[in-house]
Structure 1
Amino acid sequence: MQSAQPSSHFFKLSLLCLSLTLAACQKDEKQETVKTQNKIELIQQDLVPIQQGSAVSKTAFTGTIRAVQQSSIQAQVTATATNVTAEVGQQVHKGQILVHLNNQDNASRLAQAQANLASTQAQANQARLMMERKQRLLNQGFISKVEFEQSRVDYQGQMESVRAQQANVDIARKANQDGTIYSPISGVITKREVEPGQTVSAGQTLFEIVNPDRLEIQAKLPSDMQAALKIGQKIEYTIQGNSNVLTANVNRISPIADQTSRQIEFFAQPNEAITSLSIGSFVDGSLVSAQSISGQQIPLDTIQNVKDNPYVWVIRQNKIAKAPIQILNQSYSNNTAIVQGLQNSDLISRVKFNDEDIQQVVSIAKN
């Protein structure tokens, strides 16, 4: 009976060891389960490998389409319009009569000035003949030199009167001619603000004319971006309401910046034909640099906080990381960006994470 006690004690000890072993195994399985639950799983479509790429630097701007040749025609005299010969949309040529103004007073003043000029010229001719006659008498010794000098002074006085009357004629003729308005350029009437029978005032706008054959882009750029402006530089742009991408070249740059807006005005000559209907339309464009930018190419929509401290979520060594980057170039049209600051082995994540996910282990499923 005593020999059975050691066996019983050994059996109990064996059961205790087995229980401890089973408990340890269950604890390891539980820890492994926790670790498996903390692992984040992604699919290959969620990740984008980094590629080396290059792009042309572009500086965005906005502007308008304007006519190089345009004119605003004002009345020079106060008069009544008797005949208007031009309509909005009508093609006119340089020197064509646009409107007649009734200025009979100016015509009368011109006639009076011309009559006064003719009378003064006749008196000057008479004074000249008298001076020549006295010159001969002086040479023959019949009159004194003082008498001859008096005749010469009279003639000079008459000539000054002729010049004064000629000036009056020129002024009256100009006033009379201002009653007929001519087109200063060849183009198309875009605005007409006079009707037959209407009394217009001096300085009042009557017509506006533009030449649709010569159009240009007028735009401004902040002065701190002036390094992007050069004569002959290529421009890519679109006109409001038209998605076609057109090109132009910078041909004029203002030598100074605007004191109020601190912007530099520039002009560009389009390379493609533009219809006159585009005059006044807004333009969205970019100044295209001649130098290309090289770096790491990634999808633009994967960049977070683009305008201030940009970053991307990456998978680095199978763990989630938040990688700050520097954007060198971005293109919304093809959703690409050239950046720097990443490791070539990084995988760009299209999935957005939180800061709590940083350093979490990631598993990547094949499908």
Structure 2
Amino acid sequence: MLSGQRIKTNKLSHHIQPLACSVLCLSLLLSACKKDQTEKPVEISKKIELIQQDLVVVQDGTSVAKTAFTGTLRAVNQSSIQAQVNATATAVNAQVGQAVSKGQVLVRLNNQDNAARLAQARANLASTQAQANLAKNMMQRKKRLFDQGFISKVEYEQATVDYQAQLENVHAQQANVNIAEKADRDGTILSPISGVITQRQVETGQTVAAGQTLFEIVDPNHLELQAKLPSDMQAALKVGQNIQYTIQGNPAALSAVVTRISPIADPASRQIEFFANPNETINSRSIGAFVEGYILSSSSVSGQLIPLDTIQNIKDQPYVWLIRNNKIEKVKLNILEQRYKDNLAVVQGLQHGDRISRIKFNDQDIHQQVIINQK
């Protein structure tokens, strides 16, 4: 009987031992997990600290509506001088860059043929004038004879007709003389305006042809802005409107006033040409230079006023770094006006309460919390 109990006890012991091992393993596993959870560090969100001097409060501002254009600078008074006769240049008296006065001799041409034609025309004129004087004397003599009854009326009238015919010959020869004198004068090229020689295309001893350009002259004291605007923007173009512009190679901001507007659009480009008078004195070396600017409207546009030097990538896609709801944000802008003199810009795209950051951030800083130190 005792032996049977021992056998039963041993069997029970065999079942309990694996169960105890399982419970022990599970307890150790739970303990390890709990230890990992307690030992894992808590992540703390990173905050960026700024001071008040790093930030600029956005202010409301206004800007004048603008219409962009491109153009060039040109001389109001300019002239292209061409030869009127076929001849050889015997003397050239002007150089590129030289200032000349109206009526000044620029070049003399060897024009012997025209000089000979002038002499012949003058001789023919003198001959016809002598014949006319003879016919006049004959008419006056026959007038006296007719009054005394020695000749008939027909003879007197014939003498009168002869005199009138000779007078017409004199007029015809005078016209020939005028033509010959004009041709002779064409051998001496005079400056039609006061200005500066910009091109010279003739040399001493060179044979020139009628219609060939010899000189280009411009008056550097009277310049104007010549530009074009698409016809669909013609409402922005009126005589008397102010213009802001810059000249290529010169960063200075200049101004002008619209003086003339073409009444029609160019059928090829669909653009309207206009001209403006500069308010400042422009260097003559800027003639022909590329110009870009804005036509200023009489109406204004609302926006925000911020420092110009806080705008990033201002030429392509301008944006600013700002603090909005205590977070760093990167916001794109629409620039309405740039006031370089005051380091200000009128923009659109900001919200009330935004503070512009003078500090430049990186894209990974976007939406990061900031702490603003009041000191």
TM range (shorter): 0.7 to 0.9
Aligned to 2:348: 339
Unpaired runs of 5+ residues, structure 2, are 1-33
Equivalent residue in structure 2 for 1:218, among 223, 226, 249: 226
Aligned to 2:284: 276
Kindly provide the CA deviation profile for residues 46-78 of structure 1, in whole angstroms up to 9, marking residues without a partner as x.
Answer: 997653211122222222121111111000000
Rounded Cα–Cα distance in structure 2 between residues aligned with 1:102 and 1:69? 29
Rounded Cα–Cα distance in structure 2 between residues aligned with 1:195 and 1:123? 47
SS of equivalent to 2:257 = strand
Aligned to 2:271: 263
Kindly provide the CA deviation profile for residues 272-303 of structure 1, in whole angstroms up to 9, marking residues without a partner as x.
Answer: 22222211111222222333322445689589
Pairs within 5 Å for 1:21-60: 50-60=58-68
- The residue type equivalent to 1:265 in the other structure is E
Number of aligned residue pairs: give it. 332
* Contact 1:293–1:328, Cα closer than 8 Å, also in 2: no
Aligned to 1:329: 336
SS of equivalent to 1:243 = strand
| Residue 146 of structure 1, CA deviation | 1.6
Change (3 A) 1:41 1:260: farther
* Contact 2:72–2:226, Cα closer than 8 Å, also in 1: yes
Give the structure-2-normalised TM-score. Answer: 0.73
The worse-fitting range, judged by mean Cα deviation, of 154-163 and 177-186 is: 154-163
| Residue 336 of structure 1, CA deviation | 3.6
Rounded Cα–Cα distance in structure 1 between residues aligned with 2:339 and 2:283? 28
- The residue type equivalent to 1:216 in the other structure is E
Give the number of the structure whose alpha-carbon radius of gyration is greater: 2
The worse-fitting range, judged by mean Cα deviation, of 157-166 and 235-244 is: 235-244
The worse-fitting range, judged by mean Cα deviation, of 178-187 and 310-319 is: 310-319
Unpaired runs of 5+ residues, structure 1, are 1-22, 27-32
Rounded Cα–Cα distance in structure 1 between residues aligned with 2:313 and 2:88? 68
Pairs within 5 Å for 1:84-103: 84-103=92-111
Rounded Cα–Cα distance in structure 2 between residues aligned with 1:186 and 1:324? 53
The worse-fitting range, judged by mean Cα deviation, of 133-142 and 160-169 is: 133-142
SS of equivalent to 2:240 = coil
| Residue 331 of structure 1, CA deviation | 3.6
Aligned to 2:23: none
Kindly provide the CA deviation profile for residues 314-337 of structure 1, in whole angstroms up to 9, marking residues without a partner as x.
Answer: 998889999999x58354955744
Aligned to 1:195: 203
Rounded Cα–Cα distance in structure 2 between residues aligned with 1:111 and 1:165? 12
Aligned to 2:13: none
Change (3 A) 1:314 1:201: same
- The residue type equivalent to 2:348 in the other structure is V
- The residue type equivalent to 2:280 in the other structure is E
* Contact 1:63–1:218, Cα closer than 8 Å, also in 2: yes
Aligned to 1:172: 180
- The residue type equivalent to 1:91 in the other structure is A
Equivalent residue in structure 1 for 2:239, among 212, 231, 242: 231
**In the alignment, is residue 366 of structure 1 matched against residue 366 of structure 2?**
no
Aligned to 2:20: none
- The residue type equivalent to 2:372 in the other structure is K
The worse-fitting range, judged by mean Cα deviation, of 105-114 and 284-293 is: 284-293
Rounded Cα–Cα distance in structure 2 between residues aligned with 1:214 and 1:93? 15
Rounded Cα–Cα distance in structure 2 between residues aligned with 1:286 and 1:78? 49
Aligned to 1:71: 79
Give the structure-1-normalised TM-score. Answer: 0.75
**In the alignment, is residue 128 of structure 1 matched against residue 155 of structure 2?**
no
Rounded Cα–Cα distance in structure 2 between residues aligned with 1:110 and 1:345? 89
Q: How many percent of aligned residue pairs carry the same amino acid? A: 63
* Contact 2:327–2:370, Cα closer than 8 Å, also in 1: no
Change (3 A) 1:54 1:352: farther
Rounded Cα–Cα distance in structure 2 between residues aligned with 1:323 and 1:180? 70
- The residue type equivalent to 1:329 in the other structure is L
Aligned to 1:149: 157
SS of equivalent to 1:142 = coil
Change (3 A) 1:42 1:256: farther
Change (3 A) 1:223 1:41: farther
Rounded Cα–Cα distance in structure 2 between residues aligned with 1:199 and 1:311? 64
| Residue 237 of structure 1, CA deviation | 1.9
Equivalent residue in structure 1 for 2:190, among 182, 188, 198: 182
SS of equivalent to 1:366 = strand
